[in-house]
Structure 1
Amino acid sequence: MNYLPGAFDVPLWYIVMHLKGASGILTQKRYCDVLAHRLNQDQANRLISVDDYLLLPDTLHLMVQEEALKFDVWWPAFRDQLLEELKELYLAGLKAGGASESADSLVWEPVSYELITSPEAFEHRVNEMLFLPVRKGLASDPEYYPYNSVNNKAGIDLQ
């Protein structure tokens, strides 16, 4: 790929967040809607922009670019608020089903992030996100996996 000079002047981050405690919820519509709402709201407020994403049943992969907020300011608030919203929705589902469990077992673990500083690093991460559903046996072709930037079933605004 050819990139314009200065293409990586605005910090671009690759984030991987594993959700423990509620198997498979990230690809369920009501939880996707929470995530999409949070990201789309942050983009509407020009805090960050989302370049690419991948939702696996228990893992969120994001490629976000800083806008009004630096990553170290935006990231902790986003991570914590998203977890609280997911816990609230999960707990409501448990109560509706008659369970008396708690949502305290939901945690982001492990979490990693990386500053993308070169075209090679960008291409590596984008390809990883594209082909991961195939490697995990969730799709036979990356273009058929619904919860990625290509198909955008989650409804996340892409920049």
Structure 2
Amino acid sequence: MILNGAGTYFFTVRGAKDAPIFRSVFEYEYFRKILAQEKGCELIAYVFSEYEVRWVMHCEQDWQVILDNLRAHMQELHFKLWHKHQQILSESAEVIFVEEDRYLVPLVMEMHYWPVRKGLVASPDVYPWSSDHLYRNIKQPDWLASHRMLKRMTKQRCNTLVRYERMMEQFTPWDTEEVENPLYKAFASSAYIALHLRKKKTVDRFSEAQIIALRMEAEKLVTSILGNSVEQVKQPRSRRQYQQIEPLVMWLLSQTDCSIQQMSFTFDLDETIIQGWIRSLPNQHPESFLTRIQQAWQEQGHANSALIKDAEIVSQAS
């Protein structure tokens, strides 16, 4: 399950259709600038390559809004520079929730060492499109919230730069798969995630009509990926197959901010059943299959937004 709401997140985004994101030095600098200026956010660290961008950011708004803004900015810039309407950033993105006290230091160091691991440079401090060289400066720029990471390395401010340089010299690869929470896309303990979820507002985001509309779209998506139609799997002889699809549908709805309580009430299902379905999915399906469905659902996000509005209009009219 992907977490959202106010918090610190690690973003990884690639070029649309595996095309390059940047074609000029100006575009690298422009992307860094719009990241730093994103409203309600603090940019903590970043690293860019021709085909991929990674950054850590503390957000006070939903990260999906941030990604939509970045896609729009880059598409507009591309048209101004090259006179072509073209999507630059992929619709799919990997977004991981981060517990700063436990994981921010190794995560930022892993990011800064990434160009070396990719064979782009011999040392992280010479790579121009990462925040590593800024972390080594006595005075960091105001637009970079490096203090959120550096203050966790040592209590004495005067020693943070020396400490950072020494740790980067002795850096060993950080296995992100080992530390990622098994139930959530997060570098965080279960206790910290539970606290984050409690802090989120409990106000329902969607009406009953909107949730029903989203469920129908999720059913269409999952059945099409499996090579069937909704009508086929809902036939009596295909009941067992539909029972396999329903947990996937609930999982997709939960990633669209539909609460377990809302789904339970709308679809007359016990909350513990829905929670059990979502927890058991990693054991019932290959990770590659779940990733494929998740990415397809994210790419369909704009269409779902329009569908939600239409469902609400129809509901109000009736």
- The TM-score with structure 1 as length reference comes to 0.69
Matched, 1:147 2:133: no
Q: CA deviation at 1:120?
A: 4.1
SS in 1 for 2:37: helix
Residue in 2 that maps onto 1:79? 67
The answer to whether the 8 A contact 1:52-1:62 is kept is yes
The answer to whether the 8 A contact 1:54-1:149 is kept is yes
Cα deviation code 1:28-72 (max 9, x no counterpart): 332223323322323xx5x01111111121211111113xx23x2
Q: Distance in 2 between matches of 1:85 and 1:11?
A: 23
Residue in 1 that maps onto 2:36? 40
Residue in 1 that maps onto 2:20? 23
The answer to whether the 8 A contact 1:48-1:64 is kept is yes
Q: Distance in 2 between matches of 1:91 and 1:50?
A: 26
Residue in 2 that maps onto 1:7? none
1:116 to 98, 106, 109: 98
Q: Distance in 1 between matches of 2:126 and 2:95?
A: 26
Residue in 1 that maps onto 2:166? none
The answer to whether the 8 A contact 1:20-1:58 is kept is no
Amino acid at match of 1:55: F
SS in 2 for 1:138: coil
The answer to whether the 8 A contact 1:53-1:149 is kept is yes
Residue in 1 that maps onto 2:143? 157
The answer to whether the 8 A contact 1:24-1:58 is kept is yes
Structure 1, unaligned stretches of length 5 or more? 1-9, 96-100
Residue in 1 that maps onto 2:76? 88
Structure ranking higher on relative contact order (CA contacts 8 Å, 6+ apart)? 1
1:51 to 35, 44, 49: 44
Matched, 1:12 2:12: no
Q: CA deviation at 1:148?
A: 0.9
Q: Distance in 2 between matches of 1:113 and 1:87?
A: 21
Structure 2, unaligned stretches of length 5 or more? 1-5, 135-140, 146-318
The answer to whether the 8 A contact 2:13-2:89 is kept is no
Matched, 1:103 2:86: yes
Q: Distance in 1 between matches of 2:79 and 2:32?
A: 19
Q: Once superposed, what is the RMSD of the aligned Cα atoms?
A: 2.6
Q: Of the two, which has the highest radius of gyration?
A: 2
The answer to whether the 8 A contact 2:74-2:89 is kept is no
Q: CA deviation at 1:151?
A: 2.5
Distance 1:118 1:65, change over 3 A: closer
Amino acid at match of 1:158: L
SS in 1 for 2:133: coil
1:124-143 to structure 2, matched below 5 A, reads 124-143=106-125
Amino acid at match of 1:143: D
Q: 4+ residue stretches of structure 1 with deviation over 3 A?
A: none
Residue in 1 that maps onto 2:189? none
Residue in 2 that maps onto 1:3? none
Distance 1:118 1:89, change over 3 A: closer
Question: Which structure has the highest strand share of the two?
Answer: 1
Q: Distance in 2 between matches of 1:48 and 1:143?
A: 25
The answer to whether the 8 A contact 2:8-2:100 is kept is no
